[in-house]
Amino acid sequence: MIIAVDGPAASGKGTLAAGLARHYRLPHLDTGLLYRAVGRAIAGREDSADFEAAAIAAARALDAAHLTDLAVLTSAETGVLASKVAVIAEVRAALFAFQREFALQPGGAVLDGRDIGTKICPDADVKLFIQADSKARMERRAKQLEERGLIVDRYVLYHQIEERDSRDMLNPHGGFYKAADAHLLDTTLLGIEAALRAAIEIVDRDMALKAGG
Ligand code: C5P
């Protein structure tokens, strides 16, 4: 079973995808980490002439070992860098095979990102599109960072999330919209447990329908 979980920055899609993976005992790939690792590899070079070439080379050289430094990869600054490399078509193409291979492993997988249901796994068994309003998303991300002992400026964080949202929405090579066959789950007013229960209900219902029909 392949489960695709998409949604904007800090919508809760990563937490939900991890919860679904635990529940169904499936491996989980947070595809944002791939773009974050590429963004990190070219940090400080965003304004240089070789920015695109360096990002493409970093994407082509990426392997699982580059995805382990979560403290650096999950920072808000790395998120902004990730959205800058994510607009480069060759970067997306270089990361495609890694994601596709992960999805097609025996038994299936849960992948979360922006274009899983539209581009990476249009054939997923169940697709979820997670949504939450931007203030709720900022507050959740602020709490996550504070739990790690970081000091958070909510004004700056809000604008980082907005900057990423607009770059992502305009990404000409993206596919950052809800697939026609994805279920919309708005988590603005839901806690983690309630959101996970709702997601599991959707997956169970879809799988029962598939088995029956
Ligand atoms: O999901 P996360 O917030 O970690 O993603 C960081 C950035 O990576 C996104 O803002 C987006 O620009 C890019 N991304 C992408 N496609 C994905 C996952 C992430 O372009 N499947």
**Could you read off the pLDDT of 28-52 as tens digits, one per residue?**
999 999 999 999 999 999 888 899 9
Round to whole Å and give the CA distance between 31 and 94. Answer: 13
Pocket test for ligand 1, best of 31, 33, 35, 167 (most atoms within 8 A of CB): 35
Residue from 33, 32, 34, 50 nearest 42 by CA? 50
pLDDT of residue 169: 86
**Nearest Cα residue to atom 21 of ligand 1:** 113
Residue 53 CB partners (closer than 8 Å, separation 6+): none
Residue from 210, 209, 196 nearest 24 by CA? 196
Cβ of residue 164 lying under 6 Å from some atom of ligand 1: yes
Q: pTM for the full model?
A: 0.93
pLDDT of residue 104: 97
Q: Mean of the pLDDT values across residues 8-32?
A: 96
| Residue recorded with tokens 């959101």 | 195
Sorting pLDDT into bands at 50, 70 and 90, what band is 143? very high
**Nearest Cα residue to atom 13 of ligand 1:** 83
- Identify the burial level of 182 via C-beta atoms within 10 angstroms of its C-beta, where 0-12 means exposed, 13-18 middle and 19 or more buried: buried
Task: Please identify, by atom number, the ligand 1 atom nearest to the C-alpha of residue 86.
Answer: 20
Pocket test for ligand 1, best of 16, 69, 75, 83 (most atoms within 8 A of CB): 83
pLDDT of residue 189: 93
pLDDT of residue 168: 85
CA 152 to chain centre: 22
Residue pLDDT, tens place only, 89-124 = 999 999 999 999 999 999 999 999 999 999 999 999
Q: Mean of the pLDDT values across residues 8-17?
A: 93
Q: Which CATH class for the 2-208 domain?
A: alpha beta
Sorting pLDDT into bands at 50, 70 and 90, what band is 131? very high
pLDDT of residue 9: 87
Q: Mean of the pLDDT values across residues 54-66?
A: 94
**Nearest Cα residue to atom 4 of ligand 1:** 32
